[in-house]
Structure 1
Amino acid sequence: MSLIGKEIQAFKASAYDAGSGEFIEVSDESLKGQWSVVCFYPADFTFVCPTELEDLQNEYATLKGLGVEVFSVSTDTHFTHKAWHDHSDAIGKIKYVMIGDPSQKISRGFDVLDEEAGLAQRGTFIVDPDGIVQAAEINADGIGRDASTLVNKIKAAQYVRNNPGEVCPAKWKEGATTLKPSLDLVGKI
């Protein structure tokens, strides 16, 4: 069942705020009021995961410039996130919030929990300021994600939100022509 257009489920969890070096509490309300990227991954101290999270950090300043906050989530604890941050060169660069989901409630709520393994799948979600999921991508375990693709998706989602009645075509870039669906446009694309 698709989560697109649906409000995120309520949750409360402990997290490691890698930017401040503090443990914090995060909830579904923490994702509201701004655009958010929620990046699920299987586990700390693994192989593909640090490459993805480091890549997401490389885009963090750009995302922040767009008014986007980033949250990574795995079924590890917030303590494990801090230990990983302290011992991995790649993860040590991270400045965003790393949410612990040992109860698996958040992973289940975003429908990315591999029940048999007890781990989150590689899911990326763009959540609007109202807490509504606007985009979702889920990759198989062995396929790492490219965080640079988030920037254009978020710009398109923000454009559509701010310009009702317009839509962004494939490969749309900021400033490019959009479409206004209408009877006159049917069959002309």
Structure 2
Amino acid sequence: MSLINTEIKPFTAQAFKDGKFVTVSDTDVKGKWSIFFFYPADFTFVCPTELEDLADNYDTFQKLGVEIYSVSTDTHFSHKAWHDSSPAIGKIKYTMIGDPSGLVTNNFDIMRPGIGLADRGTFLVDPQGVIQFLEVTAEGIGRNAAELLRKVKAAQYVASHPGEVCPAKWEEGEKTLAPSLDLVGKI
């Protein structure tokens, strides 16, 4: 079953953010756009490149009113150790959720069965707590923050412009579509 257009499930988890351990819950997510960025494990190879890419673009996400939550089944202690030891991870200002129980990972149905690690999955949650898009890639395929930003802008545009949709490769400021009977077969 797809999680698109479903509300996120309740959770509470420990996280590392801004040099502190913090508690994060589903209620913290409500009222703003949020990205849940699941990855397999700390101290690995593709994961730090993706997390650094997000860190390099974090200010742009913030300007769009989007909070980022990276999530793995490591502990918040492991996140701190990784943050303190890796130049790439040391750039991170967003919240790094530790999910050793797998509650958050299972809530988003992104846990690898029998392995205890998250798949490489990205979820955009709207201010009502509803999942607007998700993407899952195989272990060796890294994600791109610039493409994620484009998708966030499209989702925000559609949310604020009922009756309009964004076509393929849509960029902010470009023409959108207004689906109607007159448009059928003319694209």
| Residue aligning to 2:41 | 43
Supply the distance in 2 between the matched residues of 1:67 and 1:86 (Cα, whole angstroms).
Answer: 27
| Residue aligning to 1:134 | 132
Q: In structure 2, what residue type is equivalent to 1:110? A: F
Q: Which runs of 5+ in 1 are unaligned?
A: none
The CA deviation string for residues 66-120 of structure 1, in whole angstroms up to 9 with x for no partner, is 0000000000010110011001111011110000000101111111100221000
CA RMSD between the two structures: 0.7
Residue 19 of structure 2 is aligned to residue 13 of structure 1: no
Supply the distance in 1 between the matched residues of 2:49 and 2:172 (Cα, whole angstroms).
Answer: 27
Q: Which runs of 5+ in 2 are unaligned?
A: none
3-state SS of paired residue (2:169): coil
Supply the distance in 1 between the matched residues of 2:22 and 2:101 (Cα, whole angstroms).
Answer: 17
3-state SS of paired residue (2:61): helix
Supply the distance in 1 between the matched residues of 2:46 and 2:93 (Cα, whole angstroms).
Answer: 19
**Identity of counterpart residues, as a percentage?**
64
Supply the distance in 2 between the matched residues of 1:142 and 1:148 (Cα, whole angstroms).
Answer: 19
| Residue aligning to 1:113 | 111
Supply the distance in 2 between the matched residues of 1:144 and 1:98 (Cα, whole angstroms).
Answer: 18
Per the TM alignment, residue 155 of structure 1 is displaced from its structure 2 partner at its CA by 0.6
| Residue aligning to 1:179 | 177
Supply the distance in 2 between the matched residues of 1:53 and 1:107 (Cα, whole angstroms).
Answer: 17
Within a 5 Å distance, the mapping from 1:78-93 to structure 2 comes to 78-93=76-91
Within a 5 Å distance, the mapping from 1:141-160 to structure 2 comes to 141-160=139-158
Moved over 2 A (4+): none
Supply the distance in 2 between the matched residues of 1:70 and 1:92 (Cα, whole angstroms).
Answer: 16
Per the normalisation by structure 1, the TM-score is: 0.97
Per the TM alignment, residue 29 of structure 1 is displaced from its structure 2 partner at its CA by 1.2
